[in-house]
Amino acid sequence: MFTSVILAAGMGTRMKSEMPKVIHKVCGKELVKWVIDESKKAGAEKVVTIIGHKAEMVRPAVEADAEIAIQAQQLGTGHAVMQAVPFIKDYKGYVVILNGDTPLIKAETIEAAVEYHKSQGNSATVITAELPDATGYGRIVRAADGAVLKIVEQKDASEEEKKIREINSGMYVFNADALVWALSKLTPNNAQGEYYLTDTLEHLREDGKKIGGYTIDDNDEIRGINNRVQQHEAEALMQERINKQHMTNGVTIVQPSSVFIGAEVEIGSDTIISSNVTIMGNTKIGSGCVIEMNCKIENAVIADNVSITSSIVLNSEIGEGTSVGPFAYVRPGNKIGKNVKVGDFVELKNDVIDDDTKISHLTYLGDSDIGKNVNFGCGTVTCNYDGKDKFRSKIGDNVFVGCNTNFVSPVNVGNGVYIAAGSTITEDVPDNNLSIARSRQINKSDWKGNKYNK
């Protein structure tokens, strides 16, 4: 049983952004949200986020999943954790401290650190790493028996201490009561004039408590993000992790370096994803699908055996066996049935389209309810907007729409209707009628002749 406390109050100046650092994203998810989610996966019963800089911008990203404590002034990491005391002062479990800017930390690592802390009977355990270049990090000073004596910050370290390669990741496991007691002992008497969380370890040791270090082997997990280059590096690592997970689950990803899949996306087995594909948001893709090159898919629910090529699909549902593209734009709000064909240069918005309908080419359908087995000829347009309001049209089952038809919404077209090519339909059409709404062709024989032929 543990509670995690996530430090996320800092400014993140080096991001050079109007947005606080911890709500910048990696693989479509905010940095701090990654840390919250991994904590929960590891079994945290409560998560407390400490926010401060532009707190009102951070709040919406965290409030659904974590408690919030505000650190109005950033007086150091120890001062940040002090803001969580109301949440942990009577708590009997462990407190895991994490940073809001280290999205690559894994649930397994958090769990393992808690297990280690328990098994050693420590009062505090710091998660450490061995780095080839430890510059900037707090150094771990250990006793001969391996116990942690203290952590020295770069700015407070002696020349000897600066040579230490074992560093403080900034993540810890504490017994809640020991943490609360040690926080009350902190003072800002150091090079930076801050309340250092690291000083709690020394207070606990002086009180006769056992302090340990848990060294991780994948240093990528403790990478903090301070600028856009590091954000990109973390994104690449996370992307590789996500893609490998899908591949392990039975998805073929032809060129993983060009495939970007968001954290929450689900994909069924035997689906094939080709190059330059971005799949984000709460997208679910079934099995046996083929997502060909150059697609962007966001918040879509895609059933089995669907194929999508060089197209954009946003906030829509696509039924089994349907094909989309190349070059289709499926805008938000569509519910597309089974075995539908959405062909090239087709734009759909806010439509309900029933099974077996074919919209093969160069067509715009917006705000429409379309029946089963309808065939749209090339160049069909629903005129759904009069410059002020939008209107819905309804087209029945088994309708054949000739090329270059306009439906001036709102119109109701019955079942089994046949629309002549080039019609502009402004009135309802009853079931099984042939509708022709175009001017007649006149051939003139008494004209002056074609100058061209002279």
Does 197 contact ligand UD1 by CB under 6 A?
Answer: yes
Least Å distance, CB 113 to ligand UD1, is 15
* Angstrom distance (rounded) from CA 171 to CA 7: 10
Site for ligand UD1 in 82-101 (CB under 6 A): 99-101
What's the closest the beta carbon of residue 60 comes to ligand UD1, in angstroms? 18
Sorted by sequence, the CB contacts under 8 Å of residue 168 that are 6+ apart come out as 126, 128, 137, 138, 139, 140, 151, 198
| Smallest distance from ligand UD1 to CB 271, Å | 38
Options 195-203, 206-214, 319-327, 410-418: segment touching ligand UD1 (CB under 6 A): 195-203
Tokens 């954790």, located at residue: 81
* SS3 per-residue string spanning 292-359: CCCEEEECCEECCCCEECCCEEECCEECCCCEECCCCEECCCCEECCCCEEEEEEEEECCEECCCCEE
Q: Where are the beta strands (DSSP E) in 158-281?
A: 166-175, 211-215, 252-253, 259-261, 266-267, 272-273, 277-280
d(CA 27, CA 281): 10
382 makes contact with ligand UD1 (CB under 6 A): no
Residue 371 contacts ligand UD1 per CB under 6 A: no
Member of 3, 4, 71, 311 binding ligand UD1 (CB under 6 A): 71
Which ranges in 65-224 belong to alpha helices (H)?
77-82, 85-88, 107-120, 159-162, 176-183, 199-206
Question: Smallest distance, Å, CB 242 to ligand UD1?
Answer: 24
Min dist CB 12 to ligand UD1, Å, is 7
- Which of these segments, 74-82, 271-279, 347-355, 406-414, binds ligand UD1 (CB under 6 A)? 74-82
Of 125, 150, 124, 123, the closest CA to residue 138 belongs to: 150
Q: What is the DSSP letter of 423?
A: -
C-alpha torsion 80→82→83→88, nearest 10: 130
Residue 273 tokens read as 């994803």
Q: Does 20 bind ligand UD1 (CB under 6 A)?
A: no
Nearer to ligand UD1, 19 or 420 (CB): 19
Extract the tokens encoding 94: 């462990």
* Chain-centroid distance, C-alpha 156: 39
Which of 167, 173 has the CB closer to ligand UD1? 167
Between CA 420 and CA 403 the distance in angstroms is 8
CB closer to ligand UD1, 223 vs 361: 223
10 lies in the site for ligand UD1, by CB under 6 A: yes
> Which residue shows structure tokens 């022709």?
436
198 is an interface residue for ligand UD1 by CB under 6 A:
yes
d(CA 13, CA 24): 13
Q: Pick one of 137, 174, 214, 329: the residue that binds ligand UD1 (CB under 6 A).
A: 137
Mask for 149-188, x = binds ligand UD1 (CB under 6 A) = --x-x-------------xxxx------------------
Nearer to ligand UD1 by Cβ, of 80 and 328: the residue is 80
The residue among 7 and 303 lying less far from ligand UD1, judged by its C-beta, is 7
Residues touching ligand UD1, count (CB under 6 A):
26
Cα–Cα distance for residue pair 52/74, rounded to 1 Å: 7
**CB-wise, 32 or 324, nearer to ligand UD1?**
32
Binding mask 32-51 for ligand UD1 (x = CB under 6 A): ------------------x-
CB 26, min distance to ligand UD1, A: 15
Residue 77 contacts ligand UD1 per CB under 6 A = yes
Determine which residue in the list 224, 286, 321, 379 makes contact with ligand UD1, applying CB under 6 A. 224
Residue 361 appears among annotated catalytic residues: yes
Nearer to ligand UD1, 137 or 260 (CB): 137
Per the CB < 8 A criterion, the answer to whether 127 and 217 are in contact is no
Q: Which of 155, 141, 2, 166 is nearest to 84 (CA)?
A: 2
Contacts to ligand UD1 by CB under 6 A: 7, 9-10, 50, 71, 74-77, 79-80, 99-101, 137-138, 151, 153, 167-170, 196-198, 224
Catalytic amino acids?
A: 361
